[in-house]
Amino acid sequence: MKIGDLFQTNKTVLSLEVFPPKKESGLETIYQTLQELESLSPDFVSVTYGAGGSGGCNATLEIAKTIKERYGIEPLHHLTCVNNGQKDVAEILQEMKKAHVENVLALRGDLPETGEAVPDFCYAKDLVAAIKADDHFSVGAACYPEGHISQAIDQENYQHLLEKEQAGADFFISQLFFDNDCFYRMLEGADQAGVTKPIVAGIMPILSKAQVQKMIFMCGSSLPSKLIKLIHRYGEDPVELQKASLDYAWEQMSDLIAHGVDGVHLYTMNRPEIALKTFDYLRGERH
Ligand code: FAD
């Protein structure tokens, strides 16, 4: 099923993200995670590509294929253009077709520190257009409630979103954020810019003080004072911090659903208990 079509019902689309485990852990670890997530019946599960030193790009397709075949859940295969030229992309798409994977999240990927150029596709929109040349695929793209970390001018955020839609993006998934108002502001800005495709909210619960520090610097996401106080209070107690932060994430998701957002995407960090504790309640709440 094409993910773009899922938004045609009035229900909030609920989805999860996993990443390929490091090579030494082997793929079986991710299958154990997926087995635990299966009971949540997410509308789709996305699999990252080449991010964060994970276990190789081929693993993404292998996992996406298994999500479809073994668990009967729709996979969303992330794909970046930083490491892939036209020929590579054509080959990867061919492999996806053979595996009946029909949903791709088209991304630029983070530029290497050497600042090397992207081979053939400069921006994600160019990759979106290349994938959409084949109508086998439904294509998603990334969006940023607080702008991309490297983007200087706020207004460009919406222009780039519109360009991705014009290139053929069927839906968007957002960068993680902790302040729902940032997401609502982006929805307004996107609407004013003429973006019409569904926009899914990306939520990542905080698991440790170190993780949140890393995330702030990687993504530029702002922290509301409620969350800062919570980290201050439980920062040295990982168990209590996790409990409080799962409550926070759950409140964030409930509020998003109450606002009638198109979808909520939970970054599981391959920790099934995060999804089990927050996601299950949402099924009863969504419209
Ligand atoms: P683009 O849309 O191309 O934007 C990149 C930069 O260029 C931005 O600063 C943007 O403002 C600017 N820009 C865009 N268009 C133009 C234009 N026409 N002219 C001038 N400037 C422009 N990374 C991975 O490596 N693997 C993953 O699996 C992965 N999954 C992700 C999933 C989600 C939901 C999100 C939000 C991000 C993900 N990322 C992943 C990270 C992403 O690849 C990085 O944030 C990357 O730096 C930007 O990717 P993009 O697709 O948004 O790029």
List the domain boundaries for the chain.
Answer: 3-207+249-282
DSSP characters for 127-179? HHHHHHTSTT-EEEEEE-TT--TT---TTHHHHHHHHHHHHT--EEEEEE-S-
Six token digits for residue 252? 């964030």
- Determine the pLDDT at residue 112: 77
Six token digits for residue 58? 């081929």
- Determine the pLDDT at residue 286: 61
8 Å CB contact between 144 and 186 = yes
236 is catalytic: no
| Whether this model's pTM surpasses 0.85 | yes
- Determine the pLDDT at residue 55: 45
241 lines ligand 1 (CB under 6 A): no
- Determine the pLDDT at residue 54: 45
Q: In this structure, which amino acid lies at residue 4?
A: G
- Determine the pLDDT at residue 283: 67
Give the Cα separation of 30 and 73 in Å (integer): 15
**Residue in 160, 164, 172, 215 to alter for ligand 1 test, most ligand atoms within 8 A of Cβ:** 160
Helix (H) or strand (E) holding 287: none
80 lines ligand 1 (CB under 6 A): yes
Q: Whose CA is nearest to atom 36 of ligand 1?
A: 175
CATH fold for domain 3-207+249-282 = TIM Barrel (3.20.20)
Give the Cα separation of 101 and 81 in Å (integer): 18
Q: Chunked in runs of 10, what are the mean pLDDT values of the chain (287 residues)?
A: 94 96 86 94 96 65 97 97 92 97 96 73 96 96 95 86 98 98 97 97 94 89 94 93 94 96 97 88 65
Q: Whose CA is nearest to atom 49 of ligand 1?
A: 108
- Determine the pLDDT at residue 24: 72
150 lines ligand 1 (CB under 6 A): yes
138 lines ligand 1 (CB under 6 A): no
Give the Cα separation of 168 and 215 in Å (integer): 30
Q: Whose CA is nearest to atom 7 of ligand 1?
A: 123
**Residue in 126, 139, 146, 148 to alter for ligand 1 test, most ligand atoms within 8 A of Cβ:** 148
